[in-house]
Structure 1
Amino acid sequence: MRQHILDNPISYYAIFSSVRYLPTRLCHWLGKLVALIVYAFSRKDRDGLASNLSLALRRPPADPFIRKTIRQIFKNYGHYMVDFFLMPQLPPHKIRRFFAEFKGEEILQSALANGKGVILLTAHLGNWEFGSMFLRFRNYPLNVVALAHNTYSTNALINRLRANKAVNVIEVDRSSFSGIEILSCLRNNEIVAMIGDRDFFGSGRPIDFFGKKVSFPVGPVVLAMKSGAALIPAFVLRQSDGRYFGVLEEAVPFLLEGDRDDVIEKNLGKTARVFEKYIRSYPDQWYCPHPITGRTP
């Protein structure tokens, strides 16, 4: 199960209730305030972020820019949490005000025209949950692959909010059943959104990531190779005006011939290069407090 600094039922239900009754600006202010309080008491998370940002930005962990970026990460996450719980409770015309442009939609349309489905692969960067809103506004069939949260009540709330956005949630575990469901969606020429920058189950492959060997999950790449689906890197990022924009990269050009393990590793490396580019461009929206150098087998 996944864990992060606010992943508990009390925090989630408090935010869910607050955004329903309080003005949005006040909620954003409170979200950032709570995030800064968490920042002050979360040394382990600060140290993990410093280690990761040091690798990504090639600066010492104690560099003033690194420390400033870490503080902004917490503030951005507080803002994101408020929006995540607020938007599903709003009518569609109000939700649209939160979004700016959607770059690269023609890439998605071209991939779907091949009839083999699409895997949208993202990282713990920006506001990945909001990608579903961009797509559902345009009536794309969407499935989201998600890991269960720490408690049943938290998981039920999060999945209820996702369902409100007309998204089919596929919960993954160590069994093969989720993979079967994902392949079924792809064969129906649907979109499957996945996060591919963290190996939660310890079954990934070590690849070069910011100059270190880091274990990446092989599932997205293997499923794309097996199904023939296009694997498109996708991100939702927040602008300086507070609105969100979506961006799709060109489908990753996969190698398909050669030793299977070698091909998988090389294809994983291609996805990692895209992640590196966006993380370096938006370091204050990279929500990864777990040291990536500790994610090798």
Structure 2
Amino acid sequence: MSANERLADALYGLGWATVKKLPEPVAAGLGRRIADTAWRRRGQGVLRLEANLARVVPGASPERLAELSRAGMRSYMRYWMESFRLPSWSAERVGRSVDIKDLHHLTDGLAAGKGVVLALPHLANWDLAGVWATRVLGLPFTTVAERLKPESLYDRFVAYRESLGMEVLPHTGGAAFGALARRLRAGGLVCLVADRDLSSSGVEVDFFGERARMPAGPALLAQHTGARLLSATLWYEDATTMSGRVYPPVGVPESGTRAEKTSLMTQALADAFADGIAEHPEDWHMLQRLWTADLDPAKGPK
């Protein structure tokens, strides 16, 4: 384990151990101070966030992009402060903190008994939405997690999410697709953050007028199992509430090859993601390269 990996593991461990014990106003203030400090330093993540937001808000002035990136960093740190504290939140607290519109698309899909694939972008706090699903709605679900370095940090994330009621599978290794398909055939719920391709072999979509790659997994799972494919977006409504919307089902095209069907279905997800991101760009936590034009083909996404 490198020194940087040991430091990352130690910092995240400190966050999980201490932030949840702080009074809530203190934790919120700490998050804002960390966000503002990172924003002022203009590091790689902040610059990448601004470059991404420039595509989301075309024609925005440098001053407007700076405002959005500052709000974006505060939103991102709010995600972390909330996530560190989520294990101590009661079901009642979670319930009053989340308001999801058009939830019937999800509940109707599960009632049909064929399973539901729910795809989301990196908006607001997807972990909070997951806790809301498990503790408030009583809907267990399965998801995947990116392999992080060091392994101990990945283990922390898995243990954390499993403590919140989620079943977590590793993104790599090739076995996740089969396990997800089995959960769906049993009528279960699979939730996937799906606005960034981690394999460099995703589906090309049009995203805010440029080409980007997004994972094929959600569309392939729906085709393979007959599960309903849904998208959802989230945003912070105010200082205490996160809102969201579930979009209508994405149907499987009646004709075409599997690749053609996958392309059309993934584009439908990208369009829903773009709708939510355009409405709430400050809550999109995309501090990495996403669009094809920004990627190094030899190295893949960064």
Scaled by the length of structure 2, what TM-score is found? Answer: 0.89
Match of 2:105 among 79, 104, 107: 107
Mark the CA change 1:193 to 1:33 in structure 2 (over 3 Å): closer, same or farther. same
2:276 equivalent to 1:278? yes
2:284 equivalent to 1:266? no
Task: Provide the alpha-carbon RMSD of the alignment.
Answer: 1.9
Partner of 2:86: 87
Distance 1:169 1:267 in 2: 25
User: 3-state DSSP class of the match of 1:69?
Assistant: helix
Identical amino acids, percent of aligned pairs? 23
Distance 1:189 1:295 in 2: 37
Contact 1:57 1:280 in 2 (8 A): yes
Partner of 1:146: 145
Letter in 2 for 1:177: A
The number of residue pairs the alignment matches comes to 288
Letter in 2 for 1:55: R
Partner of 1:29: 29
Alignment of 1:234-245 (within 5 A): 234-245=232-243
Partner of 1:224: 222
Contact 1:143 1:192 in 2 (8 A): yes
Mark the runs of 5 or more structure 1 residues left unpaired by the alignment.
1-6
Of 15-24 and 222-231, the range deviating more from structure 2: 15-24
Instruction: Describe the superposition over 1:6-63 as per-residue Cα deviations: whole angstroms up to 9, x where unpaired.
Output: x922331222222233211101101111122222234322221122111111125x53
Contact 1:48 1:291 in 2 (8 A): yes
Partner of 1:167: 166
Alignment of 1:1-297 (within 5 A): 8-60=8-60, 62-97=61-96, 99-136=97-134, 137-173=136-172, 175-293=173-291, 294-295=294-295
Instruction: Describe the superposition over 1:144-175 as per-residue Cα deviations: whole angstroms up to 9, x where unpaired.
Output: 222122222222222222112221112111x3
Contact 2:233 2:273 in 1 (8 A): no
Contact 1:131 1:235 in 2 (8 A): no
1:139 deviates by: 1.1
Partner of 2:4: none
Scaled by the length of structure 1, what TM-score is found? Answer: 0.91
Mark the runs of 5 or more structure 2 residues left unpaired by the alignment.
1-6, 298-302
1:253 deviates by: 2.6
Instruction: Describe the superposition over 1:227-246 as per-residue Cα deviations: whole angstroms up to 9, x where unpaired.
Output: 11111112332112331223
